[in-house]
Chains A and B, each alone.
Chain A
């Protein structure tokens, strides 16, 4: 009987050796990918910004990705930590490895090469390489289809992407941001040339004459509403605002650069061109 139990235990251990059973995921895009591959059940904790899907939002939170502490992660007894190079302080990775925990660090940038490495890296760690490649191919196919319909660099709509309205400032996505990438991928032109997310003055906004205004539906100063945009002194005079071409988007979907990127690009293209399902 004892031998049987021992055999059983060894068997279980061997079965489990291939697959991590307690995963800590620190990075929203990585967390989404783990859930996408159907391994969400093994995730025991995430960082604060991993809020999609709902099951990930409900997990214990280990803090902000730039202010982590190794012991908090060790306390979750993970056998695998999946994260991105946004993790700070860097020493945490070393400390986790010293504690005998496998750490997989993936690129966190908002571009396609990084997305590919992110998906394939998570796939490899979870034994889902084939699924990861399929997912990536699917995403690029959807992006390519949108790009064929709406080629970049043309005379597409001029887009103003608003991150949030804080303290009266209109903080917009400039060049080099995820918002900028998304606008280009959908054949639009970003109204802001300056790099990064920056507050833009009322006059510059008027001079820009955007065709479409897009804003994140949530922000640091509470949920965004159409009314707040229409009533804002720097935005109320814009033709796009007056003609109702104002759209609210889900930031975690649109700027997340995770497994839902294909979906995000299609939805965003719909907003810019208003072509909806008709052309698909």
Chain B
């Protein structure tokens, strides 16, 4: 553990990185803009094109990347603590598959169900409802005799994921070519589909949920020891579990709803932070939130510029940027242990 840094130093560094990357990302894109043009768009008078680029294209994307990245990472960290399983990610409790099922339903059957009334918000709202619905179902399945059985929940989640996968398969089969392509791109994840209304909706849901999760750090630390041990330490295990699951479902549901499925962040960012500052959730949760936001901002910057003027799916880049970094940390840790 040669690399372990004082928690406050690392947390400040993560927050600073997220902030700095956010500022850089506003200045970077296929249209070259200098600092003066960006500041002009933010505070003063410049031409319509520059204003539109900064205010209605780049700024909402950066804000959304920070929010969604942070939300996915903090939800992942919580899940890993809750399930006492390093491979847990928010997808395990059905959040992502429920959202995907709802999204596929809207894309494939939307015109038939709503007669062409399905507007811009039909898909995100359906995806959000789908993710909450499946999570609630998985949670109900795992709750009996007044207790939530974590192991049952894991298995129920796997079963529900398989079921959603099967229904998605059927819908994909009946989909036409256009719907299939929309679907593929939705599943690859992108921050390019969201404007300010989506950002505000996400902010309203995700910011309170993230702040609430941050207060659960101590309880999660106790839960890692085991349910009964946590109980002896004075933690209301049932309430804590329920709260954590609801908050994670809200965070991931809102994120998936506006940006599709973005992998890697929820699974690996918490490990990365744990490698750097140790397993204390009071550090891991805020650290993961900042690092997740920073990584998604960086990945989205790459998605917008790497193939400019075309755009790459951001999901491809989160792993491409994050995985090597994670491997380096693993190698360093191994060297430190020898």
Residues of A within 8 A of B (CB): 45, 48, 60-64, 66-76, 86, 88-92, 94-95, 98-101, 176-177, 195-197
Contact = CB atoms under 8 A, between A and B. Distances in A.
Given A89-B192, A89-B193, A99 B49 contact: yes
B176 A67 contact: no
B178 interface: yes
8 contacts: A66-B181, A66-B185, A67-B313, A68-B192, A69-B304, A95-B195, A98-B48, A197-B176
Nearest to B313: A67
B195 A91 contact: yes
Contacts of B52: 70, 74, 95, 98-100
B311 A196 contact: no
Contacts of A76: 309
A176 B176 contact: yes
A71 B185 contact: no
Contacts of B31: 71, 74-75
Contacts of A71: 29-31, 53, 57-58, 304, 309
Contact of A69 (B47, B177, B192): B192
B48 A72 contact: no
Nearest to A76: B309
Contacts of B49: 74, 99-101
Contacts of A95: 52, 56-57, 195
A225 to B, nearest CB: 24
B219 interface: no
A70 B195 CA distance: 12
Contacts of B338: none
B30 A69 contact: yes
A70 B178 CA distance: 21
B71 to A, nearest CB: 21
B308 interface: yes
Contacts of A176: 176
B36 interface: no
Given A67-B190, A88-B185, A94-B195, A48 B310 contact: yes
Nearest to B184: A66
Contact of B57 (A48, A61, A70, A100): A70
